Structures are given as C-alpha cells and as structure tokens.
Structure 1
Amino acid sequence: MDRTYRRGQTVPVSSFKDRYLRWLNRTLNPLTLRAARSGRGPFSLVEHVGRKSGRTFEAPLILAPVPDGFVAELTYGDRVNWYRNLLAGGGRVFHRGKWYRVVGVEAYGVEEGLRALGAPASWVLRLLRRREFRLLRVEADL
C-alpha cells in the first residue's frame, strides 16, 4: 500500500472520502461560514471546543429549529469532530442572529428529522439515504 508522510509519521494514503472532506473544508466551508455568521440563508453555526487542543472551532450546518432546540443530520456520520466535541464539552449554536447554549444532544427520529428539515433538504437526504438525526437541546445564551 502506498504511504505518505505527515508530521514525521508514516500513514496510509488518504481515502477518497478523506480527500473530499478536506476539499470541502478548504473551499466550501469559508463561504458557508460567512453565510452562517450573517444570520441569513440556510446555514447555522455550531461553535465547539477541541477535545485535545482546547481551541474553539466553528462548523457551518443546516439546522432545523424545533420546540426543544435544533435538529441536525449527521451527513458524514457520528465520527466528525464537531459532533464528538459537542458531546464531550458542549458548545453553542448561532441561528438567525441569536446564540444558544447546547445543553444536551440526543438521537432524533428519522421521519421527524426529515419533516423538521423540510423540502428540499429532506428530498436530498432521502435520496442519499441519510438516517442519523440528532436533537441539539439548547437554552438562550445571554
């Protein structure tokens, strides 16, 4: 197997998924971060603290407001950093110009999640067979 070197360590060459996620991070994330920070458009901002680094990070996501908080779909699975950091140390959500503190995360039903996100997001998620929804329970962050 081909190998590449990173920080003095030999590691396997990245998979297509890893390369795709890195490309998204470098190209689309800066644009969607700007949209999320503006409080307009479909994007919200999830602020979380790194489990190891202690640094604050921001992730632009499409969240659906529901009575108990916000619904998120884990498009890239439950191993993504923003989600793992949120579980480990909490975080905040910026949605439509307001900050909310995340006080809990729990599983959310597939049909309920699709209904909360609405069209056209639910159409795309059905087509991609995405089924991992989470409820981010929040309180207003003063």
Structure 2
Amino acid sequence: MWFWLLKNSLNRVVVRLARRGRGPFALVRHVGRTSGASYETPLLLARIDGDFVAELTYGPRVAWHRNVVAAAGRCQVVAGGRIYEIDRVEVLPAGDGLRAFGNPAAVVLRLLRRRDFRLLVVARSGP
C-alpha cells in the first residue's frame, strides 16, 4: 500500500519537478532489463568530482539499480535541468558516500546505518 501511494502521488510530482531542474531531486533514466521499457526514477543524488553518488536506501536489489547494472552501467541522470550520460556504476565505500552527501544528510544517513552507496560515473568525452 505504501509503495503504491508513493508511486501514484508523490513520485509523479517529484518526477515533474526533477525534469524541470527544480528541487533537490534528480532522475535516473534506465531501461527495464526484461521488459525493455523506459523508466525514470527520482532520487536524491550527491556530486563528487563531477560524478553522482546514490545511496541505495532499499539495497542493491532495487529495480533501477538492477536495470542499470544489467545495461553495463549505462543510464542517464537528469539533474539541474541537464542530462548526463552515465557509462558505469561502481561500489563506493560508505565513508566516501557519506562525505559526498555532507551534513546534515550524512548525520541522518549514519543514524539510519546506511552503508550502501554507488558512484554513477559521468561519461567523459575523448580527446
């Protein structure tokens, strides 16, 4: 019931705001690993050295993460009204992930014992 309510109310508003570059949310655009359908998942992402950091609140088995891993780490991030091509996803040590989010978010993440972070690496153009 709770997930249905989020998906059909709050997520719709958050997706619209993130597409316009408003608010703290970003979108991860990914393709379903079995369906081939396109999806947009709203997330709070931090920045580190030009890349993005995601905290996996529900663990590595969440659909968006499994879809991106199945696509060899390829997806798009829409943040601040810009589209970023992601070409790989790496496990990020918890300390690095917490530092990327900074305070007060890191304090909350520590209290919630969140330790599962991923680095979404932005594709760099060659010379």
Q: TM-score, normalised by structure 2?
A: 0.88
Q: What SS does the aligned partner of 2:100 have? A: helix
2:109 aligned with 1:103? no
Structure 1 runs, 4 residues or longer, greater than 6 Å off: none
Give 1:134 deviation, angstroms.
0.4
1:97 is aligned with what amino acid? G
Root-mean-square deviation over aligned CA pairs:
1.6
Q: 5+ residue gaps in structure 2?
A: none
Cα distance change on mapping 1:95 and 1:140 into 2, 3 Å:
farther
RCO comparison, higher one (Cα < 8 Å, 6+): 2
Aligned residues: 123
Aligned pairs for 1:38-77 (under 5 A) are 38-77=20-59
Give 1:130 deviation, angstroms.
0.8
| Identity percentage of aligned residues | 51
Residue 19 of structure 2 is matched in structure 1 by 37
1:98 is aligned with what amino acid? R
Q: 5+ residue gaps in structure 1?
A: 1-18
Q: TM-score, normalised by structure 1?
A: 0.80
Cα distance change on mapping 1:136 and 1:22 into 2, 3 Å:
same
Residue 107 of structure 2 is matched in structure 1 by 123
Q: Deviations over 1:79-122 (max 9, x none)?
A: 11100111111210011111111111111111111111122322
In 2, Cα distance between equivalents of 1:57 and 1:76: 18
Between Structure 1 and Structure 2, whose CA radius of gyration is higher?
1
2:97 aligned with 1:113? yes
